[in-house]
């Protein structure tokens, strides 16, 4: 298995993936609290520094380029300073942003977290949710039609901000089926039942349960049954349910169930781990590897990223070293 997984990595790097979804700037303001404001019973944060990173679909695309592959991003930004800033961040991550759509009627989504002494004090969201104008929706679809011939796989990264609507979904799936390339989805519970005829969905246990209105999902048998229900409802080829410290469970349409134990040695932060999973999984499927092999290497990638603090990515060399280290100690 070690040699097979290692041999996959160069093939992942040869792939090009289209990421369609909601992108945001995640801003962090860091500081300390030593007193309460005299104006109101709230802490006064003395700021030491601030950082920004790509969130949502942007982080998925960032995971792809970090592994050495090519990422095209189709998302919507505002005609504002934050939109310019996001383009600069995409450029820095070597993410193709030629097909990003600008909507003058909505702001670029930015989520600002104020953190004092390692604790989040407050989060401030600047965004507008809901359906986009017909012109923006048409621009998204036109760009999808232009980019798909350039890629070997498509990721739908849905954060329920308005990009992933039935019209866009149907267009993606129809073209992908015609070209015989995989479509994977990182779902949002609100839209769970819309993702029909896809290649793979990668929900965590909570998302899978809520999407199917299921309760008391604890055992391997519960997960397997839930996965089968999802496949039947969505008529998809597979579902990969991520389960934290319990690893992952892959359910395929032929009723094949594969439980994959976690490869994480340490867990500091699970932020963005789902982005790493779907990015790696889709690269592997685009390279024509089977579902089990794709899930296995995605599991190793996730085990690395949860050992990092904050929204993080991994490199191909880190993935290679992690696989070698695991089998050396086994």
Active site residue 275: yes
Structure tokens at 166: 């039935």
Gap between the Cα atoms of 143 and 99, Å rounded: 6
Strand 43-56 with 70-74, pairing:
unpaired
* CA-wise closest residue to 282 among 179, 177, 157: 157
323 half-sphere exposure, CB direction, 13 A CA radius = 21
Q: How many CB atoms lie within 10 A of CB 42?
A: 11
Q: How many CB atoms lie within 10 A of CB 98?
A: 10
Task: List beta partners, residue 304.
Answer: none
**CB of 187 closer than 8 Å to CB of 201:** yes
Give the residue carrying structure tokens 């992690």: 322
- Angle, helices 291-305 vs 2-13, to 10°: value is 80
Structure tokens at 178: 């015609």
- Report DSSP state, residue 309: S
SS3 30: strand
What separation in angstroms does the CA of 214 have from each of 81, 201, 206, 225, 230? 43, 17, 9, 11, 11
**Of the listed 186, 275, 321, 325, which one is catalytic?**
275
What separation in angstroms does the CA of 22 have from each of 57, 59, 162, 275? 6, 10, 8, 13
Give the active site residues. 275
């Amino acid at each position: 298995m070690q040699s097979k997984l290692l041999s996959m990595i160069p093939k992942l790097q040869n792939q090009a993936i289209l990421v369609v979804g909601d992108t945001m700037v995640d801003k962090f303001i860091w500081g300390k609290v030593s007193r309460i404001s005299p104006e109101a019973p709230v802490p006064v944060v003395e700021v030491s520094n601030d950082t920004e990173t790509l969130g949502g679909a942007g982080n998925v695309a960032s995971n792809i380029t970090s592994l050495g592959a090519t990422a095209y991003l189709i998302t919507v930004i505002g005609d504002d300073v934050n939109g310019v800033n996001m383009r600069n961040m995409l450029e820095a991550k070597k993410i193709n942003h030629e097909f990003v759509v600008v909507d003058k009627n909505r702001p670029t989504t930015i989520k600002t977290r104020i953190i004092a002494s390692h604790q989040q004090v407050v989060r401030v969201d600047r965004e507008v949710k809901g359906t986009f104008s017909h012109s923006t929706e048409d621009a998204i679809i036109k760009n999808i039609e232009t980019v798909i011939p350039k890629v070997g796989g498509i990721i739908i990264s849905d954060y329920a901000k308005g990009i992933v609507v039935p019209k866009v979904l149907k267009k993606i799936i129809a073209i992908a089926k015609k070209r015989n390339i995989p479509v994977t989805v990182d779902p949002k519970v609100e839209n769970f039942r819309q993702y029909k005829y896809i290649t793979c969905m990668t929900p965590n246990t909570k998302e899978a349960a809520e999407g199917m209105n299921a309760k008391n999902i604890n055992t391997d048998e519960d997960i397997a049954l839930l996965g089968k229900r999802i496949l039947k409802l969505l008529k998809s080829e597979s579902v990969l349910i991520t389960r934290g410290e319990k690893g992952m469970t892959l359910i395929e349409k032929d009723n094949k169930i594969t439980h994959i134990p976690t490869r994480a040695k340490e867990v500091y932060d699970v932020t963005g781990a789902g982005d790493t999973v779907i990015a790696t999984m889709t690269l592997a499927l685009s390279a024509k590897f089977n579902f089990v092999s794709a899930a296995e290497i995605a599991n190793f990638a996730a085990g690395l990223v949860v050992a990092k603090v904050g929204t993080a990515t991994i490199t191909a060399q880190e993935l290679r070293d992690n696989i070698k280290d695991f089998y050396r100690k086994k």
